[in-house]
Amino acid sequence: MKFNEFKYERPNFETTKAEIDKLLNDLSNSKTKEEFINIFEEINVIRGHINTMATLCSVRNSINTSDEFYDAENNYWDEISPMYSEINSNLYKIIINTPLKEELKDVIPETFFKLAECAIKSFDAKIIPLLQEENKLISKQAKLYSSAKIPFDGEIYNLSSIGVKTTDNDRDTRERATLAKMAWFEEHETEIDDIFDQMVKIRTKMANELGYSSYTELGYLRMNRLDYDASMVENYRKQVLQYIVPESMKLFDDQRIRMGLDKLSYFDLNNEFISGNPKPKGTKDELVMAANKMYHEMSKETGEFFDVMIEQDLFDLESKPNKQGGGYCTDLTEFKVPFIFSNFNGTSGDVDVLTHEAGHAFQSYLAMKTITIPECTFPTMESAEIDSMSMEFFAHPWMELFFKEDTQKYLYTHVVDAIKFVPYGVLVDHFQHEIYANPECSVEERKAIWRKLEKEYLPHKDYTGCDILEKGCWWYQQGHIFQSPFYYIDYTLAQICALQFWKRMEEKDPNAWSDYVKICKIGGTKPFLGIVEAAGLKSPFADGTVEPVIKFAAEYIKKIDVSKY
């Protein structure tokens, strides 16, 4: 069955609630482990159906935000999903408090109990109206961004498709394209500020209602930080400042020299070579076929996985009008398949989607075969990003299928970008810590906080000629800040882990791939640090982890001759 044949049907909340409430009553009165597990599995089937319908609606709405039916359904889910959260909370309370809890740990992963505790601590029925308002604001921001129409050189672009022009080989073109893009943000500056201001205040109110002094505490619970805390993140940020920021500054200076410039301007930063960035060679369909060949050669498991993706048409890859920006992978529990959403725009990012998002999809595909508890199929986000980012590196030997004569250029850029990205990712996280620690600061003060931190983590940034960026509005472009607070440090932690996998691959470690497949199958049955250990990797939080992996990457880069580009 293909994706467009998957049937969407809105579940009747009252009927579903009555059915689950009866099962919850039976669950709480269970006398044996076997009886408890049987009822729990029945509940999970129903929850899986609910999750699938909500996800199917969300995906189809993101593909076309102007579709009236799915727009209305998305509004419905904005209202109703917090009420389903209450049902889940009731389930968690029963499982946490059952006298059978110790016996259940033989069959229910320990992470489920930790996730249940996080959910209980982060939810109460009294915050349902606030959750509904938060959902509406997230949808409002997504719809605003997907409606963008940016005129440039006689054509109309959206926020995704303009990307190819902002990295054009012609310097004048990319400057004008970047200014055109930022003009859209400037035009909507007041509206964007207002949306985010409301988000911050609503999230802070939620936290206060639940007894927390700031949203940061609640945000960590909602992100399911199971085995690390804000103090560990703060120590990690110090390592990034000490070891990665100086290395990234060297790379930016190398880039400046290679581009033949006196200084790198804000519109030059995404262009590594005077001859232009590496671009994939082929149409969307040709790139998918190249990925198909790659995954069949990579391993039996990846070949089987990608056959399913193609046969069931589990992609929506091309940028188009009224399509939500960005990219993601999600899973459709009831159909036991993942789905990949993206916005191809002719840049190397198109290939990164076929490796990064496919890494998420591969993990989901493997885990859904054996794990039936919804909370444990997909790992917590920092662990999930190990799966995706590591796949980008495991794909290196096949990059010639995508880039032909530009393969070495791509490999150089990919490793360089991995190093350069970490300070930016840490900046996004640090910014959010500052914002939620000071929820009453003005919109202008928020922008000043961003610019101050930007100068600390990204001191190379020169915004001369673009006032909106100079005053601290770059973060408007980072959807996670609006939609998933505190979800960004995850990418940087995973990047350090992925670089370790890559180092092992480069050093011909025979266990690198099998360890990767192992953690994909583990899914969410272990917390982040447990997954890192199972993968044979070192914790990014531990002193002495960051420096050697960055040094290895720096030495690798020096060996690639890019002088001809």
Give the helix ranges, DSSP H, for 29-67. Answer: 33-63
Residue 123 vs residues 79, 82, 130: alpha-carbon distances, Å: 16, 9, 11
User: What is the crossing angle of helices 407-437 and 489-506, to 10°?
Assistant: 150
Instruction: Look at residue 565 in the predicted model and tell me its pLDDT.
Output: 81
N-term to C-term CA, the chain: 46
Residue 122 vs residues 80, 135, 209, 440: alpha-carbon distances, Å: 17, 16, 10, 22
Q: In angstroms, how far is CA 486 from the centroid of its own chain? A: 11
**SS3 (DSSP) at 556:** helix
Instruction: Look at residue 561 in the predicted model and tell me its pLDDT.
Output: 86
Determine the residue type at 307. Answer: D
Q: And the tokens for 542?
A: 């531990």
Contact criterion met (CB below 8 Å) for 553 and 419: yes
Instruction: Look at residue 366 in the predicted model and tell me its pLDDT.
Output: 97
Q: And the tokens for 79?
A: 């209202």
Contact criterion met (CB below 8 Å) for 174 and 167: yes
Torsion angle in degrees (nearest 10) through CA of 251, 389, 50, 84: -50
8 DSSP 8-state letter: P
Contact criterion met (CB below 8 Å) for 65 and 142: yes
| pLDDT < 70 positions in the chain | none
SS (H, E, C) 468-506: HHHCCCHHHHCHHHHHCCCCCHHHHHHHHHHHHHHHHHH
pTM: 0.91
SS (H, E, C) 265-318: CCCCCCCCCCCCCCCCCCCHHHHHHHHHHHHHHHCHHHHHHHHHHHHCCCEEEE
Q: And the tokens for 553?
A: 């990457």
Contact criterion met (CB below 8 Å) for 12 and 84: no
Instruction: Look at residue 365 in the predicted model and tell me its pLDDT.
Output: 97
Instruction: Look at residue 448 in the predicted model and tell me its pLDDT.
Output: 97
Instruction: Look at residue 563 in the predicted model and tell me its pLDDT.
Output: 80
**SS3 (DSSP) at 80:** helix
Q: And the tokens for 51?
A: 């999750």
Contact criterion met (CB below 8 Å) for 159 and 144: no
541 DSSP 8-state letter: T
Q: CB-based contacts of 147: which residues, under 8 Å, 6+ apart? A: 65, 322
Instruction: Look at residue 278 in the predicted model and tell me its pLDDT.
Output: 93
Instruction: Look at residue 325 in the predicted model and tell me its pLDDT.
Output: 85
For residue 155, report the phi and psi dihedrals to the nearest 5 degrees: -120, 165
